[in-house]
Each structure stands twice: as C-alpha cells, then as structure tokens.
Amino acid sequence: MSMKIAADERETSSSKMEEVKVREYDEERHKMEVEKLEKLCEVGQRGKPSLLTDLMGDPICRIRHFHLHLMLVAEYGEGEVVGVIRGCVKTVTKGNSSLHIKLAYILGLRVSPLHRRYGIGTKLVEHLEEWCKQKGANYAYMATDCTNEPSLNLFTKKCGYSKFRTLTMLVQPVHAHYKPISSKIAMLRLPVRLAESMYNYIFANSEFYPKDMDVILSNKLNLGTFIAIPKKNMTKFDLKMGTRLLDEWMPWLRLPSFPDVFRPFGVYCLFGLHMEGKYGKQLMKGLCGLVHNMARDDGGCGAIVAELGLRDPVREAVPHWTKFSWAEDMWCIKNLDKKCEPSDWLTSKSSSPVIFVDPRDF
C-alpha cells in the first residue's frame, strides 16, 4: 500500500510541475497576485518580530536599485501565482586581492504553503540562475538564518550551494528617549566623492565590496557618510581644526575641501562601518547614538540595522538587542562558471575579517 501511495504522490507532483510555468514578473498582471502570496507566507521571517520585516521594505522594489535585476513568478493553472523569486547581478571584490568578479544575489524566494514540496522552489532557482549566467555571473549567493532548515536544504542539497560565510544581524529598536552623546566627539559629513575614495581605500581587501559604490552613495535613499573624531579643542565653527585632525588620522584621504560639521543625520541601515585607533570603539558608539536620535525624530523608523561578519571588530561597538538580532546569518554560494576554479574562492579564507554588506541587499 505504501509503495502505491508513494507512486501516486510522484505522479501528482510530476503532473503539477507540468502545469507550473515560470515567467518574468509583470507589474500590471502579477502585482496583486504576488502581494496575496506574500501574505500567505510567514510575515516574520526566521521567527523574528515583524518590526524588522516592515523595516526592510517591499522586496519587490529592492532589486530595482541594481542595474541588472530580474523578478520571476511561478504560475499554476489559470494564472495563479504560487511562487516568486528575485535576483540581481553586481561586480564585487573576492577579498585577498584587487580582482573583481560578477556575483548574483538571489533573494525573496517564496512558495505558496498550499503548493510546497512539488519542486517549484527548485524550478524558480534554476530559471533565475540561467538568467544570471547569461548576464555573466561567475557565482551566485543567498542568505538565510542558520536555523532555516527548509531554505538551507533547498539550496545546499538540491541546488548545489555551499555554506560560505556567517554574519550577524544586529538590530536596535528606536526608543522614545534620546541617547546621550559625548560632547568630546565631533561628527563630520563627507562629500560623496571623498566618501567613495575613503570606502575604496578601507574596504579594498574585504569581501563583497561593490564596484559601483558611487551609485550607492548617490542614491536618494542614502542619507550621507559620516565620521566621528575626538573634538578636543575644536569648536563648532573651527572647520580647519577638523580637517587637520582628519589629515592626522587618515592622511590618505587627501581632503580637497572642508566638509560640513555637526550636521545631524539618520539612517535605517548602517553600512560601511569602520573604526580604528585608540578611541575607535567610543567614537563608533557615538555615531550609533547620533543615528538613533535622528531615527527617534523620524516617525517612519522603527529600528536601526547593521549586518557584520563574525570576526569584524566593529561588532563590539554597535548597540543592539539580542532578542531582535540574528546570532548567525548564513550565506551560501555556488560556482556558476565552469571555467572558474572552485578552490579559488569557495574553499579559501579571507585575510580580512570584514565582509561588506551592500545596503541594497536588505
């Protein structure tokens, strides 16, 4: 009897898969169906509070910040959307060298709870990978919580991905009160071109640093690049002193002009975090406090998020709530290019503890 049931299940699964068609997302045709599917799936991914899900925003829109992006849907029967997946292709560093590679990022995979275990997720991944290959991607990666066994099993056991890097997602809710900031710290906002030069220098040997950093910094959603330095004898209008301090701390910046000082700012996602020197930890906490206070005045901001590598020293300085944070965010990767030697990145350890998390990936 059990053999007959198993055979019937395989036949049903095969029949259902034949009726599933993978198509490119059409906003006019699929928008309402996709929204319906999203509601059917778990709202709080990985068992985390919905506050974080709300903060990340609409995943349909997120990939549009990349030049090369695609969204696919799986249709069943009379056009019912039973699955969706998003992906993009970008150029990033591999770490340990200045070489760049084309990397695909796969995200937002959803399959209707009523249509799971029929291979729809695998079919969507395979179609998206094929598009990524056509766009020249050498590798593809995805991110999920280390406890998300269904997702890990799909990608590592069925789709050929390997566990690659582990990161921590740090989340701090925005409180009703302001955080105190030391009067000994000065905050400076950098012009975009100067910020780009700084990032290119600091993160040259990190992993996943995007080649199009200028696009990120110029995006209307980016609220600025800020650094904190010890104020010492610096007054609010003593811009010259601020510039000399920068020259002393980071002479490679070669400041072309005086940046704005004490301009308040706020972001939802902290990225490109870096600290150094004797007061690095204290200064980083000061920056995080400033972000929090601006977020407190912004009614649309519920939390401040930063994702960092487990070996990144900045982790010790970023305030967060453990119950809202992921202990381990697992990144899995796959070699899409047969010409690339798998050992050249997949099996190597980066000499840098820093993994650059693209804010467009959230």
Answer yes or no: is pLDDT of 273 > 70.
yes
Q: What is the pLDDT of residues 105-147, one digit of tens each?
A: 999 899 998 888 889 999 999 999 999 999 999 999 999 888 8
CATH level 2 (architecture), domain 18-166: 3-Layer(aba) Sandwich (3.40)
Q: Report the alpha-carbon distance of residue 236 to residue 225 in Å, rounded.
A: 19
Q: Who's near 123: CB < 8 A, 6+ residues apart? A: 17, 20, 22, 74, 83
pLDDT of residue 23: 93
Of the two residues 93 and 9, the one the predictor is more confident about is: 93
Dihedral angle over CA of 292, 253, 212, 329, nearest 10? -50
Q: What is the pLDDT of residues 6-16, one digit of tens each?
A: 444 455 556 56
Alpha-carbon torsion (208, 214, 219, 225), positive or negative? positive
Kindly tell me the burial class for residue 315, based on how many C-beta atoms sit within 10 Å of its own C-beta (0-12, 13-18, 19 or more): middle
Kindly tell me the burial class for residue 356, based on how many C-beta atoms sit within 10 Å of its own C-beta (0-12, 13-18, 19 or more): buried
Report the mean per-residue pLDDT for the chain: 80
pLDDT of residue 127: 97
pLDDT of residue 157: 94
pLDDT of residue 117: 87
132 residue type, one letter: C
Q: In terms of residues, how long is the chain? A: 362
Answer yes or no: is pLDDT of 54 > 50.
no
Answer yes or no: is pLDDT of 91 > 90.
yes
pLDDT of residue 356: 95
CATH 3.40.630.30 residue spans of the chain: 18-166
Residue 77: CB atoms within 10 A of its CB come to: 10
pLDDT of residue 99: 79
β-sheet with 20-24: strand ranges across: 20-24, 68-76, 80-93, 100-111, 139-145, 326-335, 162-173, 303-309, 269-270
Q: What is the pLDDT of residues 274-284, one digit of tens each?
A: 999 889 999 99
Q: What is the pLDDT of residues 200-245, one digit of tens each?
A: 999 988 999 999 999 999 988 888 899 998 877 454 444 444 555 5
Q: Report the alpha-carbon distance of residue 170 to residue 306 in Å, rounded.
A: 5
Q: What is the pLDDT of residues 247-258, one digit of tens each?
A: 555 555 554 443
pLDDT of residue 344: 67
